[in-house]
Amino acid sequence: MLDWLFTTLRMNVEIPLFLSLLLGYSLGRVKIAGISLGDVTATLLAALVIGQIGIHISPDVKIIFFMFYLFAVGYSAGPQFVRGLFSGGLQQALFAVLVCGLSLGSVYLAVRIAGYDVGIAAGLYAGSTTTSSALGLSQTAIEQSSLAASAKAASAQILPAAFSISYVIGTFGSVVMLGILGPRLLNIDLPAACRDYARRIGGADDDRGSPKAWHQYVARAFLIDPQSAIAGLTVGQTEHFFHNHRMYIGRVRRNGAVVEATVDMVLEAGDVVAIAGAREVLLEEVGKALREVDDPELLGVSIEGTDILITARSIHRKTLRELAQMPETRGIFLTEIRRGAMSVAIPILPETQLFRGDVVRVTGRPADISAAAGRFGYLDRETERADIAFIGAAIVIGALIGSLTLKIGEVPLTLSTAGGVLLVGLLLGWLRSIRPAFGRVPRATSWFMNSIGLNMFIAVVGLTAGPGIVAGLKELGVVFVAWTVFAAALPMLLSLYIGKYLFRFDDAIVLGCCAGSRTAAAALSMITDRAGSQIPAIGYSVGYATSSTILTLLGIVIVLIS
């Protein structure tokens, strides 16, 4: 029975590939003490185990999926990467560049002292920085290097083992160092710092990045009595009557007829008004001043929730307080802000700024949303269709650029096809944030390319390296674990103090900046959980976009200098 199963797996490589994904995605979700292995690590470990039976897969398979992954990363990170370089995120981008340098330096120092070869160096770098994408660039750089064929083969065998060990340590280490020890080392009361930050920028942080079990914004009908203070006021005055709470009067029933409300329309006793706003405001404020009535016809207005991609230069860096005063925002309610390649949830506070490339979720009447989108950017209504021709063209152009080689003496320098695709993805992602008429890649498509592309690549690496993993682990030994802890912990430890005392980031976001500069999504999750707030995520997106690009490209550098 086992002979038949092993033979079937060897002859049909698609089965072990998808079996690795099945086990990886299943085991990757299992949490122990709030920490999980993650899809990538679990997929690699599953593939390494399955690969023990000896499975041969063409290396072209992993290259194809890796191209999908790199394009998706570049396309998603492009707007934040460019903003970090040329706009308000420059300080966070510079911090990320410094941390990337420290990450490379710590690995190089460990490799030099321990005397590791280029294969171990590449695996240690990609794993300790949890930059899976660097693995592909390092492998390509090794294959194109002037090393002897035997040295290349030895590196290919040991690299996955070094990566798998150091990736696990790097992932868990980022959670422990940044999420658990970070606040203690910096003497930060994270929940208090987030509350103070929220007060300073004009609001109360209610963790709006978390999904709610009820609709936050609703519409209700209220009767204006003759003795009401509302009688005689205009619609515009009434909308700002209740302690400046944001609300909207869309329709009015007058003398039995339903009419559309205008800002200068004067409300009269006996009118029934349809008021939309936050549920608690309508219940606690409006409900005390006006009598609620049941009027299904008046409230029968078509409402939708949709995304707007911010592209307008006039909106860039505007605060929500400023945007709320614009006529185009009347009648719509902001429910979510997503930023960066990881779609990080940004708190909705009066002084929260919007940037080009942000995606905001709004609720309101279709006509009002369309009017706002015309001023803000591009109405990104949900669709399942992606511009596949655009994706294909981007990968082709990027691969052609990356295939170019520059020789300095006898040393060939090249981005590799993978590096070229990443850079083209960054450029096109940024271009679409300011010219959204082309190259639509829905969020779900981008996620699929990112997740499946990377994990298929990792599965091929693991299955191919499986037979040599046991020997590799014996060769690396406990000493390698110690060097991995050193290489992973040193830059994170230094980044905490550099971020707080040299760059002087706010206590509420400094840990988010550190997590972004290490592309540590697991650490950010722990930080926001311990803070009870999404505010630390404000510091994450620019650092992530910058570091995900630089750390990936440094996968070539570690091969060149080792």
The string of DSSP letters for 482-521 reads HHHHHHHHHHHHHHHHIIIIIS---TTTHHHHHHHHTT-H
> Check: CATH 3.30.70.1450 for 225-289?
yes
233 CB-near residues (< 8 Å, 6+ apart)? 241, 266, 267
Q: What is the pLDDT of residues 404-437, one digit of tens each?
A: 877 665 555 666 777 788 888 888 888 887 777 6
Contact assessment for residue 272 and residue 293, using Cβ atoms and an 8 Å cutoff: yes
Tokens 């279709």 locate to 366
- pLDDT tens sequence across 245-294: 778 888 999 998 999 888 889 999 999 999 988 888 888 788 888 889 98
Rounded Cα distance between 556 and 414, Å, is 9
In the chain, the amino acid numbered 525 is S
Is residue 186 within 8 Å of 536, Cβ to Cβ?
A: no
More confident call, 532 vs 184: 184
Q: What is the pLDDT of residue 313?
A: 87
What is the per-residue pLDDT for 153? Answer: 83
What percentage of the chain has pLDDT greater than the value 90?
24
Task: Give the Cβ contact number of residue 248 at 10 Å.
Answer: 21
More confident residue, 382 or 524: 524
Q: Cα–Cα distance between 348 and 334 in angstroms, integer? A: 8
Q: What is the C-alpha separation between 26 and 316, in angstroms, rounded?
A: 41
- For tokens 């009648």, the residue is 331
pLDDT for the residue numbered 87? 57
pLDDT for residue 459 is more than 50: yes
For residues 137-161, give the mean pLDDT. 83
- Which residue, chain included where needed, has tokens 């658990």? 180
The tens digit of pLDDT for each residue in 464-516 reads 877 766 777 777 888 998 999 999 999 999 999 999 999 999 999 899 999 98
Q: What is the pLDDT of residue 207?
A: 46
Judge whether 334 and 310 are in contact, CB under 8 Å: no
From residue 283, give the alpha-carbon distance in Å to each of 217, 289, 311, 424: 12, 10, 36, 51
Lowest mean pLDDT among 33-37, 121-125, 137-141: 33-37
> Using CA atoms, how far apart are residues 495 and 551, in angstroms rounded to an integer?
15
Query: What residues form DSSP beta bridges with 546?
Result: none
Give pLDDT, residue 206: 47
Q: Are 140 and 451 in contact (CB under 8 A)?
A: no
The predicted structure's pLDDT at residue 103 = 96
Q: Are 227 and 539 in contact (CB under 8 A)?
A: no
Helix ranges (DSSP H) in 337-442: 366-376, 388-402, 416-434
What is the widest separation between alpha-carbon atoms in the chain?
93
Contact call for residues 519 and 548 (beta carbons, < 8 A): yes
pLDDT band, very low/low/confident/very high, at 213 (cuts 50, 70, 90): very low
pLDDT at position 35 is 63
For 63-79, how does the pLDDT look when each residue is reduced to its tens digit (9 = 90+)?
Answer: 899 889 888 878 877 77
Domain ranges across the chain: 2-197+386-561, 225-289
| pLDDT band, very low/low/confident/very high, at 208 (cuts 50, 70, 90) | very low
Q: 374 pLDDT exceeds 70?
A: yes
Instruction: Give the CA radius of gyration of the chain.
Output: 27
8-state DSSP, 263? T
Instruction: Give mean pLDDT, residues 52-64.
Output: 86
Cα dist. 295→221, 251, 298, 300 in Å?
Answer: 6, 11, 5, 9
How many other CB atoms are there within 10 angstroms of residue 243's CB atom? 7
- Cβ atoms within 10 Å of 426's Cβ, excluding its own: 26
Higher pLDDT, 86 or 558: 558
Band of residue 171 on the pLDDT scale cut at 50, 70, 90: confident
pLDDT for 365 equals 82
Sheet holding 272-278, edge to edge: 257-260, 247-254, 272-278, 217-223, 291-293
In this prediction, residue 212 has a pLDDT band, given cuts at 50, 70 and 90, of: very low
Tokens of 414: 């090249």
Rounded Cα distance between 295 and 272, Å, is 9
Q: What are the pLDDT digits (tens) for 110-132?
A: 999 999 999 999 999 998 998 87
